[in-house]
Amino acid sequence: MSKKLLAVFGATGNQGGSVIRHVLADPVLSSSYAIRAITRDTASARAAALVSGGGVAELVAADLSDPATIPAAIAGAHTVFLISATPSYTGDIRAQERDSAVAAANACVATGVQRVIYSTLPHISAISGGKYKSVGSFDGKAEAELHIRDLSARGLLAGSSFISVGSFMQNWHTVMKPRASPAGDGSYVVRRHVRPETRLPLIDITDTGKWVAAMLAEPDRFEGKTVCAASRTYSMLEIAEALGKSTGKKVVYQQVSVEEGLKGFGGDRTPVAGMLVEMMLYQQDFGYYGAETEKEVAWGVENAKGHVTTFEEFLEREPLRLE
C-alpha cells in the first residue's frame, strides 16, 4: 500500500522539525506517511541536515507570506501540518498571522488536501473580554483556526485538528533568562511585572511532534479538538526555584511595575515589547488557555504520544549557564 503524503510547513523550525523527527521515529507512522518538508530556504544548513538525515521524501520551498508559492508545495498531500509565523513585527501583526494561514488553508482546499493539523494559539482579546488587545500573534492564529474549522464544517476539508503550544522552556535561556542581582552578591533575579503566583504552561518545544504524532495515529479521536501542549503549569516562584536548583545559584523572583516590565523586554526599542507585557498580564489575569488551563494541560499530557519533558528534565538536558 502506498504511503500518504504528509506536508510539513516550518520543517527547519522547532515545531515542524519536531513533527518530522517524531513521525520518522514511529514505526507505524513512518510506514504510513511519506514526508514532504516545506521551508522558505531549501539551501539553508538546516534544510541540508534534513536531507542528509534520511527519511524525508521531498524538500520543497514555499513562503506563507507569498501565497502563490503554496499550491505547488502541498499538491498531492493527504495531510498538512501548518504553522504560520509573523513575517515582521511591524504593521498589523494580527492580520499578517491570520491572512497567511487562511491563504494556506484555502490552498489546501483547492489542491485536495484531506486533513489539516494547525498550530494555533488562544484568542487573547476574546478570552480577556477585550481587556488585552495587543497580542496580535495569538489572536491572528486563533482567527485562522476559526476559518479552518469552518472549512471542515462545510466539508471542504475532511478533517482538522489543532495544537496550541504553551510557553517555550527555551525562552529561559534567552529573553526570560535571570539577570545578575544589582546587589552584586552573586545571586540572580527574574524580574517581571506579574504576580509571583502567575502560572505559565511550559513546553519543551521539541516535544511538539509527540502531540502531532498522536493526531496522525488517531485522527478520528482528535477530530476538531484543540490540544493544549505543555508539561504542566509553573508559577514564577517555581520557575525561579527550578533555575536555582539547576544552576547551583541563588535565583529569586521579583515583581516589578508594568513600566519596568516593559523596559525588561526592550521598551520602545522593540516593537514586540508591549505585546509581551500584555501577554504576561493576560496569563496572570485569565490563565494561558483561559479558566480551564490546568484541566486542558493535564488532558494534553495524558494524550501525548510519549513522555512529555518536564522543566526540570529540560534544564538537565540543556543546562542554563549563569555567569
Q: Which of 48-52, 66-70, 84-88, 262-266 has the highest mean pLDDT?
A: 66-70
pLDDT higher than 80, residue 163: yes
Residues 274, 126: one domain?
no
Residue 89 predicted with pLDDT over 80? no
Residues 92 and 115 reside in one and the same domain = yes
User: Is 322 inside any structural domain?
Assistant: no
* Amino acid 323: pLDDT: 82
Question: Mean pLDDT, the chain, as a whole number?
Answer: 96
Could you tell me the three cell numbers for 239?
A: 520557575
**What pLDDT was estimated at residue 67?**
95
Same domain, 239 and 130: no
**Region of 130 on the Ramachandran plot (φ > 0 left; ψ -120 to 50 alpha; else beta):** left
Residue 155 CB neighbour total at 10 angstroms: 7
Instruction: Tell me which of 9 and 1 has the higher pLDDT.
Output: 9
> What is the pLDDT at residue 269?
60
What's the domain count of the chain? 2
Tell me: do 63 and 196 sit in the same domain: no
Q: What is the mean pLDDT of residues 182-197?
A: 96
Residue-number span of the structural domain to which 240 is assigned = 169-200+232-291+306-317
Which CATH number fits the domain that encloses residue 193? 3.90.25.10
Are 311 and 258 within one domain? yes
Average pLDDT over residues 229-235: 99
Q: Which amino acid is at 300?
A: G
Within-domain flag for 236: yes
* pLDDT tens-digit readout, 67-78: 999 999 999 999
Q: Is residue 106 part of a domain?
A: yes
β partners of residue 119: 163
Cell digits for 290?
A: 483561559
Model pLDDT, residue 263: 87
Strand partners, 215: none
Residues 253 and 271 in one domain: yes
Q: Where are the alpha helices (DSSP H) in 222-272?
A: 236-247, 258-264
- Whether 58 and 195 map to the same domain: the answer is no
Report the interhelical angle of 136-153 vs 93-111 (nearest 10°): 20
Where is average pLDDT lowest: 19-28, 164-173, 186-195, 264-273? 264-273
Percent of the chain residues past pLDDT 90, beyond the cut: 89
Q: Evaluate whether residue 298 is within a structural domain.
A: no
Neighbour tally for 237: CB within 10 Å = 16
Q: Are residues 221 and 249 in the same domain?
A: no
Residue 24 lies in a domain: yes
